[in-house]
Amino acid sequence: MTAPHSYATGSVFTVKPTWEQPARRFEVVPGPADTPPNEPWFHVAVVQFEDNGIVTSPSQVNDAVATILSARRSTPDGAIVVVFIHGWHHSAAWNRTTSTLATTADGDDHFHSFRLV
C-alpha cells in the first residue's frame, strides 16, 4: 500500500474549489482533469527532489511539463504557472483527501496554504 503522502501512483491532480455556505471546500481528482470554461479549477503537479538536488522521479518532471503545455494549448489566454518551493522542516506532504474544507490543513500546512492561493 502506498503511503498517503507518496506520489508513486501519480503526481498531477486537479483541485476543484466549491463554495458551500458558509465555507469553501476543495475536491481533489487524480490526474489533470479537463477544466470546463469559467471554472476556478486548477492543477497541481508535484516534482520532488532528494536532499542532494537530484529529482526523485523524472516522470514527475515530464508530467508537470505535459500539464503546463496542455493548459497552455487549451486556452488562447495561456496558462499561469505558480511554483512552490517548501522550506526547512516542510514538504509536499498532501493527504489528497477527496473533499476537505479550505480551513482544514490537508498535509503540510505550508503546502496547504499555497494551494489556498
Task: Give the model's pLDDT for residue 66.
Answer: 93
Which residue ranges make up each domain of the chain? Answer: 12-116
User: Long-range contacts for 99-103 (Cβ within 8 Å, ≥24 apart)?
Assistant: 99/25, 99/26, 99/27, 99/28, 100/25, 100/26, 100/28, 101/23, 101/24, 101/25, 101/26, 102/17, 102/23, 102/24, 102/25, 102/26, 103/23
pLDDT in tens, 74-87: 877 778 888 888 87
Average pLDDT, the chain: 84
Task: Give the model's pLDDT for residue 103.
Answer: 86
pLDDT band of 67, cuts 50, 70, 90:
very high
Task: Give the model's pLDDT for residue 4.
Answer: 57
Task: Give the model's pLDDT for residue 1.
Answer: 45
Residue whose grid cell is 499555497:
114
The average pLDDT across 18-30 equals 83
Residue of 3 and 106 predicted with greater confidence? 106
Residue of 20 and 42 predicted with greater confidence? 42
Q: Which residues pair with 18 in a beta bridge?
A: 25
pLDDT in tens, 31-60: 888 888 788 888 999 988 888 888 888 999
What letter does residue 36 receive in the DSSP assignment?
P
